[in-house]
Amino acid sequence: DSGVTQTPKHLITATGQRVTLRCSPRSGDLSVYWYQQSLDQGLQFLIQYYNGEERAKGNILERFSAQQFPDLHSELNLSSLELGDSALYFCASSSGTGWTTNEKLFFGSGTQLSVL
Amino acid sequence: GESVGLHLPTLSVQEGDNSIINCAYSNSASDYFIWYKQESGKGPQFIIDIRSNMDKRQGQRVTVLLNKTVKHLSLQIAATQPGDSAVYFCAENIEPNNNDMRFGAGTRLTVKP
């Protein structure tokens, strides 16, 4: 068990809908990362937050947004969903700030999103 | 664009043998690399890391080798066990000032009893 909790484990929805994925980082970790894993794109970095502030942005679509709350949990919001958004979405946390390298990421078990 | 890639998508080994999983990276500025293991239904799990100022690092039954000349990373698993069966990803930190790790496509390791 990595200590990172993601809910829900599975999510089935329809095109055009909006969903929210939730992540609770390991106790004490201030950085939260979101990754998307699909069969054709592999594991893609989406966005990182540190202590409530956006720290780095990767291949995140404009239809997607995220935030980190004062209690450090994070939510990833996916809107106007398309079939191609079906993927496994992982949250990871680390104890670092994200400004330095050598920060090990601890991943949750992921949320499997299926857009029908 | 620059990316991390793997030479072999699948690898099958006999229990007890040593395994070698390879990874090519193209960004010469990457200064930090990690190997992750992902078992079915789970998130990636950290195995071992190495900084660019090193060429070898050893852990428990695992060794990572970094060859910056040819931009090649490898993961060696000694005495491979059935529990080692998983998908293995290499990841590189492409931006020195943030933790944006870019992952390779992954190699599926299957250990035959």
Which residues does chain B have within 8 Å of residue A33's beta carbon, measured at their own beta carbons? 99
Q: Residue B105: what pLDDT?
A: 83
CA distances from B99 to A37, A89, B88 (A): 18, 18, 20
Query: Is residue B8 helix, strand or coil?
Result: coil
- The mean of the pLDDT values for chain B is 87
From B10, B8, B19, select the one nearest B79 (Cα to Cα). B19
Query: Is residue A21 helix, strand or coil?
Result: strand
Residue A85 sits at φ, ψ, to 5 deg, of -80, -10
Q: How many C-alpha atoms does A4 have within 13 Å on its Cβ side?
A: 28
Q: Chain A contact for B41, CB < 8 A? A: yes
Which residues does chain B have within 8 Å of residue A99's beta carbon, measured at their own beta carbons? 97-99
Q: Residue B93: what pLDDT?
A: 82
Q: Across the interface, do A42 and B105 touch by the CB < 8 Å criterion?
A: yes
Which residues does chain B have within 8 Å of residue A103's beta carbon, measured at their own beta carbons? 99
Selection from A39-48, A91-100, B72-81 with the highest mean pLDDT: B72-81
Q: What is the pLDDT of residues A4-26, one digit of tens each?
A: 999 999 999 999 999 999 999 99
Q: What is the pLDDT of residues B16-41, one digit of tens each?
A: 999 999 999 878 888 889 999 999 88
Give mean pLDDT, residues A30-54: 89
